[in-house]
Structure 1
Amino acid sequence: MNSEQKDFFAKYPYIPKKFIAIDVETTGLNAGVDKIIEVAAIKFDLLSNEHLVFEELINPGFTVSSLITNITGITNAMLEGKESFLEIAQDLHEFIGDLPLVAYNAQFDKNFLFNEFSLANLELTNPFHCPMNLSKQAFTLPNYKLATVAKHCNVPLDGAHRAKADAIAAGRVFMCAATTLGHINEISPKKLSAKSSGANHKDYPPNELGKHYGQTIVFTGELSISRAEAFEAAAKVGLAIKSSVSKKTNYLIIGEQNENIVGASGISSKQIKAESLIDDGIDIQILDEDEFMTVAEE
């Protein structure tokens, strides 16, 4: 350890000298149904500065939707002939070892990794750190999407929504937020109730000139932006905001769920109903916040 490293760790003793920044791309949002199609794990070694990389495309065993291809750039042709998660699980597990894991919006990656490893009879007991939660404490930003926080921290993010690029950015944002805060203790931001949010969807009528006029949208869970901001963005592009999912729903936007409300599955009743309707042939698109913002910016 050179003098510069000694000074750094003396100033920031709570930052692990080694950690794994990890990211997964998936076929959807439900860890109990959807599968991982790409995983990247970056071994941040702050002593040697040799950051080893584990990166694999993974065949989920079924066709990937065009929506996921549009978001990630990962096509079915790219996955053809690739190994399943079961086949790469042992190698990934050994690469991770017992190091702490860092993942942006960690609960999402954690749910998928726990599920996939359990199918391979492997346990994942490593502690997780979430740079998104830390960033919410450290910075005041218009939203806490990885791209927004990375830009604030002067972290390059080339190839967003691909696992390696997102994992590297997550690791660097983790260090930026941690050095700003002076700790890595995750204190979840206070969740606003529907009453205290001050946003009533009826106060945001759809813009008749908007591109999506005539379509409807429903929100579930907490986003990095306020409900008022989400409602305003949806209404601006013509979307009619509804409080419940029905056969007339076009979009369901999934935010971070409170397990005290929805249970350990992390799946809300709105999502369950939407997936049931999709199974019945109803065309409902289930999107995360980043995907919603893409629709809202069209």
Structure 2
Amino acid sequence: MSRALILDTETTGLDPATGDRVLEVAAIEVVNLMPTGRHFHKLINPERDVPPEATKVHGFTASMLADKPLFAAILPELLEFLRDDPVIAHNAPFDFKFLDYEFDRCDTPRIPRSRMVDTLEMAKKRFPGLPNSLDALCRRFGIDLSARTTHNALLDVQLLGQVYLELMGGKQPGLELATTLGGSRTSLATTAGPVARTPRPIVNTPEELERHAAFVGKLKEPVWASLG
């Protein structure tokens, strides 16, 4: 079983070194590339104002977040959810930079960079020279963007989960197909071992053999004449 977390943050700005803070964290669990339905989502009081330009991106204001918990309060639950598995994010260094800052403030070890998976870098390698924002990738893969009016972290990780699946090949390992026959659901699971098959030899009719012989007879030195 391969477990990973797809994560996104929303912040008050672009750089924690200038005082910007995390105000939303969301993550979903994927196992063998597929979402399990388990997720983590918290709004956070950033302990500072939210500039209007940031509000235009994600829709949050300082007053909306005033009664939310501080980052230190949500950190234990976040760590429990992430465990030691890979953390996937779009433009992951941005999110990790902010998480580093918040973890440092809480005197908590940072998430090792060895666990970081950046879907932006994956997309750049697959689609060099093309736009590779989350919106652009969703449109390229035919993923519905109608609900994405702002950069909501929980919606973004759900969209990124679909994008990540496509970037990894668009197929779940060990995929189980399902068909509906007469109203009943039948599962057709793939197997790791060899599949038994019944041979179906092709036997030509006498008429087909006669037509083939007539066709070959019209050819000059046909290769078929030398075959048994």
* Coarse TM-score class (shorter-chain normalised): 0.5 to 0.7
Change (3 A) 1:52 1:74: same
Aligned-pair CA distance for 1:47: 8.2
Q: Which residue of 2 aligns with 1:35?
A: 21
Aligned-pair CA distance for 1:35: 0.2
User: How do 1:29-68 and structure 2 match up within 5 A?
Assistant: 29-32=14-17, 33-46=19-32, 49-68=35-54
Aligned-pair CA distance for 1:172: 2.1
Q: Is the counterpart of residue 18 in structure 1 residue 8 in structure 2? A: no
Q: Which moved more, 1:130-139 or 1:40-49?
A: 40-49
Change (3 A) 1:137 1:48: closer
Is residue 49–residue 62 contact of structure 2 (8 Å, CA) maintained in 1? Answer: yes
Aligned-pair CA distance for 1:140: 5.0
**RCO comparison, higher one (Cα < 8 Å, 6+):** 2
Q: Which residue of 2 aligns with 1:3?
A: none
Provide the rounded CA distance (Å) in 2 between the counterparts of 1:142 and 1:114: 30
Alignment equivalent of 2:55, drawn from 69, 90, 99:
69
User: Residue by residue, what CA displacement relative to the aligned partner does 1:160-210 show, whole Å, maximum 9, x if unpaired?
Assistant: 411111112222212211227xxxxxxxxxxxxxxxxxxxxxxxxxxxxxx
Q: Is the counterpart of residue 80 in structure 1 residue 33 in structure 2? A: no
Q: Is the counterpart of residue 175 in structure 1 residue 128 in structure 2? A: no
Is residue 12–residue 20 contact of structure 2 (8 Å, CA) maintained in 1? Answer: yes
- Name structure 1 gaps, 5 residues minimum: 1-15, 181-298
Q: How many residues align?
A: 165
Q: Which residue of 1 aligns with 2:122?
A: 134
Aligned-pair CA distance for 1:45: 2.5
- Name structure 2 gaps, 5 residues minimum: 171-228
Change (3 A) 1:147 1:81: same
Provide the rounded CA distance (Å) in 2 between the counterparts of 1:110 and 1:47: 21
Is residue 103–residue 171 contact of structure 1 (8 Å, CA) maintained in 2? Answer: no
Q: CA RMSD in A?
A: 2.0
Change (3 A) 1:49 1:26: closer
